[in-house]
Amino acid sequence: MRVWIGRSCKGTIRFVWIVVITALVPLPAIAGDPGTAKPTPSIRESATEIVARDVSAARVPAVRARAARQGSTSPASTSFFKSRPGMIALAVVAAGTGYAIYSAQHDRIHSAGKQ
């Protein structure tokens, strides 16, 4: 079906793009007295701020990461098997199953009545 696009639609589309681009720009948090407008930072300053923010944030995950690792040892999480206890559990299961399979064949008695 052919769709008629009129002038009003083109204007609408243009408006949408403006909104999207605007939303993608990281807007500085507004703090302090609303009457005191902060100067618009330069790109260099913004980048510096972003990097500093990221660097400071990177320290936090170290704690969270440890907590996350501790949390992953809980059997409730699928990441349990990536933890040390989980890997040990898998290894024990594999070893126990493997030996039992070996025993089922090696220790099997074969009756003359089934040959």
Partner 1 sequence: MNIRFMARAILFCLIASVAWAPALSAQTQTGTVEGKVVDQQGAVLPGVTVTLMGPRGSQATVTDGEGGFRFVGVTPATYSLKAELTGFASESQPEVLVGIGKTVLAEFTMKVSGVSESVEVMAASTVDVKSSATHTNITSDLLTLMPIYSSTSTGLLNAAPGINSNSAYGAQATYGNALLMDGVDTRDPQGGSAWTFFNQNLIEEIQIGGLGAPAEYGGFTGGIINTVTKSGGNAFSGLFSMRYTNDSLASNNISQEILDANPGLGEAAILKKLADYTVQMGGPIRKDKAFFFGSVQRYSATSDPTGPVANSQDISPRFNLKFTLQPSSTDTLVLGTQYDSYNVTGRVGFWPAAQATDQQTVTEDAPEWVWNAQWRKVMGTNTFLETKFTGYWGYYYLDPVDPSPFTYDADRDEYSGGGGGLEYEDRSRNQVQASLTRYAEAFGNHALKFGAEIERSHVGTKYQPYGPAGFYVLAYSGIPYYRISYGYQFEGDNKRISAYAQDQWSAGRLTLNLGLRLDHIRGSSPNSDGDVYRPHTAWGPRVGAAYDLAGKGTSVVRAFYGRYFEGTATQFFISATPGIQDYTQTPLNANGSVAGPTEVITPGFVYGISDDIRHPRTDEFNVAWENQLTRTTRLTVSGIWRKTGDFVNNVINGAQWRPVTLTNGLTNQTFTGYNWANRSSTDENFFIRNVDGYQYVATDGTAIATADPRRSYKAMMLYLTSSLKRRFGYQLSYVLAKAEGNVDNNGFGNWLGGTQWGSPNTGIINTFGELTNSRRHEIKADISYNVPKVDVFVGAVYNGLSGRPYTPFQRYTNAQLNLPTNGRKEIFLEPRGSERNDFYHNVDLRAEKAFRVQNHRFGVYADIVNIFNTATVTSRQARVPSTTVSGSTVLYQAPTGVQLARQMTFGGRWIF
75 interacts with partner 1 by CB under 8 A: yes
Of 36-65, which residues contact partner 1 (CB under 8 A)? Answer: none
Stretch of residues binding partner 1 (CB under 8 A), selected from 24-32, 41-49, 59-67, 100-108:
100-108
Distance CA 97, CA 1 (A): 63
Distances in Å between the alpha carbon of 103 and those of 5, 13, 98? 76, 72, 9
* CA 57 and chain centroid, separation: 16
What is the contact surface with partner 1 in residues (CB under 8 A)? 70, 73-76, 78, 80-81, 85-86, 89, 92-93, 95-97, 99-101, 103-104, 107-114
